[in-house]
């Protein structure tokens, strides 16, 4: 009983610890993934901001080196500003010599440039009213996108950028990627409407995190800068974090089980000591009571040999019967106390042989109540002593004789199933009520009303002894109601090693 209580308490403690560990893991995992996502998005925003900052700087004067353009950008060797075009990007239209100054993304003005016709494949912008300044992206963005290299190889080194005109035509494609998925995303549409937006797009099996930021010129959106970053590295980091937390969860679960088992043992130690004292008291009391009961039984037997009046003889016989019942109860208590002691030594036996011997021991009781016994016995070696198997069978058959009507047939089976020796005793009596399948194994359980009303036989310890003997050997017991009625009790014992 203490062992079962310790196991149940261990499961409760470990379950509580696992719930706490799981909650902490979920909170930590959420915080880590959010931090990784924030760093990823900050890198994209930083790259977009750097590009926009380029448009705020004046064009490089003759003789100035790349460093004059500000930190973070270096001209590639032999780069030609403003004139080198990308192979897949749609170049911006250049301004004519007499055109008005161009408004940049930051609101600054740029030097006018010669006018050129838009190349084939570019979408023409909508006509503008006469006298209205021609607003478009600062050509220095083309310079930065095509000829500059980001020297900050930190969080922005793997970010690439795209630029769109106000009419949605792609103007800059820094790394010559396929822009279809980005161009058709909601983020670009919102940015063209003047609202900066984030989105995750899927392109040829790759996941991209993009940030589209509008370029405001004189209060209106004159273009869009899109920063994009592949999520493969982010996914690998999240996967690594998930593996770490899984390992922590497994390790924590094993440690919680071990700790809960030790804690449960410490918590139940006073109860186990009290239960041990109780067993000792029962055993000592049983030994002490057997002697006076034996004296009473012997005295009654001597008196019954003498000629007595009928009334006196009836009283003596009643004393003899009650004394016998008390002696049987004491024997059962003593046997139950011994069965619940510590783990016994190694033993094994042939269950079929021991069952046959036990049936012969109680045959007189069974025949007196006209119980027909049928057997199906397979040779199985169980890890239990022969005396224990015989006591289990006797208790089960005595239970049938005590709680079923006369003439009730009994079936005894022995088989091997699932690595265990199975001993089953099934009767065709009235059976038990629903919900009493586990109650029948409790001490002093009296279910006569459900079996045979009015018998009043037995102290209710027989099936308790069966359970104690089975569990002492690492086995189990169960009760069930067969389809045709009655009661079936199965005892499962481990096979002999």
CA of residue 381 relative to chain centroid, distance: 38
Q: Are 316 and 302 in contact (CB under 8 A)?
A: no
Pairing of strands 159-165, 220-230: antiparallel
Euclidean distance between CA atoms 362 and 385, whole angstroms:
19
Hunting for tokens 């590009």 — which residue is that? 51
Where among 203, 230, 257 does a domain terminate? 230
Pairing of strands 148-150, 109-110: unpaired
104, part of any domain: yes
Domain final residue, candidates 174, 205, 230: 230
Q: Which residues of 383-415 are buried (b: 16+ CB within 10 A; e: fewer)?
A: bbbbebbbbbbbbbbbbbbbbbeeebbbbbbbe
Residue in the block written with tokens 């979920």: 26
d(CA 175, CA 433): 79
Question: Are 226 and 347 contained in the same domain?
Answer: no
In a domain, 236, yes or no: no
The answer to whether residue 276 is domain-embedded is no
- For the record, the structure tokens of 396 come out as 């089960």
Same domain, 226 and 92: yes
Joined tokens for residue 133: 């300044």
Q: What is the DSSP letter of 42?
A: H
200 in any annotated domain: yes
Give the domain CATH number at 391.
3.30.565.10
pLDDT attached to residue 269: 80
Q: With respect to residue 337, please indicate whether it lies within any of the assigned structural domains.
A: no
Q: What is the model's pLDDT at position 411?
A: 95
DSSP state of 242: H
Task: Indicate the burial class of 54 (C-beta count within 10 angstroms; 0-12, 13-18, 19 or more).
Answer: buried
* Of 64, 75, 193, 57, residue with least CA distance to 138: 57
| Series of mean pLDDT values for 10-residue runs along the chain (497 residues) | 75 85 88 91 88 60 43 35 33 33 34 37 40 40 40 54 90 83 91 90 86 84 89 90 88 84 81 73 73 85 87 87 81 73 79 94 91 94 91 91 91 93 93 81 64 50 87 90 89 92
Give the strand pairing for 102-103 and 420-427: unpaired
**Residue 425: its pLDDT value, please?**
95
List Cα–Cα distances, 459 to 211, 326, 327, 328, 464, in angstroms. Answer: 82, 9, 11, 9, 11
Helix (H) or strand (E) holding 145, with range, is: helix 139-147
pLDDT, position 451: 46
Which pLDDT value is given to residue 255? 86
CB 491 within 8 A of CB 463: no
Q: Which long-range contacts (CB under 8 A, 24 or more apart) does 110-117 make?
A: 110/59, 110/138, 110/139, 110/140, 111/59, 113/82, 113/139, 117/93
The answer to whether the beta carbons of residues 207 and 185 sit under 8 Å apart is no
Distances (CA, A) of 116 to 91, 92, 97, 375: 11, 9, 10, 107
Using DSSP, state whether 415 is helix, strand or coil: strand
Q: Name the nearest CA neighbour of 202 among 223, 225, 189, 185.
A: 185
Coil, helix or strand at residue 477: strand
> For residues 130 and 185, is the Cβ–Cβ distance under 8 A?
no
The closest alpha carbon to 44, from 155, 135, 166, belongs to: 155
Domain that holds residue 474: 343-494
Number of compact structural domains in the chain: 2
Residue 86 lies in a domain: yes
What CATH number is associated with residue 226? 3.30.450.20
Q: Is residue 425 part of a domain?
A: yes
Tokens linked to 448 = 């006569």
What's the pLDDT at 56? Answer: 52
Q: What pLDDT, on the 0 to 100 scale, is given for residue 117?
A: 37
Cα 409 from Cα 412, distance rounded (Å) = 10
What is the C-alpha to C-alpha distance for residues 225 and 356, in angstroms, rounded to an integer? 92
Domain annotation covers residue 285: no
Q: Are strands 420-427 and 410-417 parallel, antiparallel or unpaired?
A: antiparallel
């Amino acid at each position: 009983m203490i062992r079962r209580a310790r196991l149940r308490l261990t499961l409760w403690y470990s379950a509580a610890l696992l719930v706490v560990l799981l909650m902490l893991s979920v909170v930590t995992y959420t915080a880590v993934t959010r931090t990784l996502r924030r760093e990823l998005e900050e890198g994209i925003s930083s790259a977009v901001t750097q590009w926009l900052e380029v448009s705020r700087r004046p064009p490089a004067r003759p003789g100035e080196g790349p460093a004059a353009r500000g930190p973070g950008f270096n001209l590639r060797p032999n780069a030609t500003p403003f004139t080198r075009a990308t192979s897949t990007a749609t170049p911006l239209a250049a301004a004519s010599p007499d055109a008005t100054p161009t408004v940049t993304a930051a609101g600054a003005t740029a030097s006018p440039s010669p006018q050129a016709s838009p190349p084939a494949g570019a979408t023409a912008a909508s006509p503008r009213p006469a006298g209205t300044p021609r607003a478009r992206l600062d050509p220095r963005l083309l310079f930065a996108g095509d000829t500059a290299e980001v020297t900050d190889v930190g969080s922005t080194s793997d970010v690439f950028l795209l630029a769109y005109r106000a009419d949605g035509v792609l103007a800059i494609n820094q790394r010559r990627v396929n822009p279809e998925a980005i161009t058709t995303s909601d983020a670009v549409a919102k940015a063209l409407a003047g609202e900066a937006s984030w989105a995750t797009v899927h392109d040829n099996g790759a996941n991209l995190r993009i940030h589209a930021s509008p370029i405001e010129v004189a209060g209106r959106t004159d273009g869009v800068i899109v920063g994009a970053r592949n999520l493969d590295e982010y996914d690998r980091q999240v996967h690594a974090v998930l593996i770490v937390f899984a390992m922590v969860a497994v390790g924590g679960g094993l440690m919680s089980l071990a700790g809960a088992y030790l804690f449960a043992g410490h918590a139940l130690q006073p109860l186990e000591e009290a239960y041990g004292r109780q067993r000792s008291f029962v055993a000592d009391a049983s030994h002490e009571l057997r002697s006076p009961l034996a004296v009473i039984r012997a005295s009654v037997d001597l008196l019954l040999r003498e000629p007595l009046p009928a009334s006196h003889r009836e009283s003596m016989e009643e004393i003899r019967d009650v004394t016998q019942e008390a002696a049987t109860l004491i024997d059962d208590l003593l046997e139950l106390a011994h069965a619940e002691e510590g783990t016994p030594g190694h033993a094994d036996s042939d269950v079929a042989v021991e069952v046959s011997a036990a049936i012969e021991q109680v045959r007189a009781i069974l025949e007196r109540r006209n119980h027909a016994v049928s057997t199906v016995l397979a040779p199985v070696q169980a890890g239990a002593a022969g005396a224990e198997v015989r006591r289990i069978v006797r208790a089960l058959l005595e239970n049938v004789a005590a709680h079923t009507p006369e003439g009730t047939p009994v079936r005894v089976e022995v088989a091997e199933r699932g690595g265990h020796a199975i001993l089953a005793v099934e009767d065709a009596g009235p059976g038990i009520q629903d919900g009493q399948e586990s109650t029948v194994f409790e001490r002093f359980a009296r279910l006569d009303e459900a079996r045979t009303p009015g018998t009043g036989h037995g102290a209710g310890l027989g099936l308790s002894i069966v359970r104690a003997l089975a569990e002492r050997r690492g086995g189990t017991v169960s009760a069930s109601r067969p389809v045709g009625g009655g009661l079936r009790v199965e005892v499962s014992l481990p096979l002999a090693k």
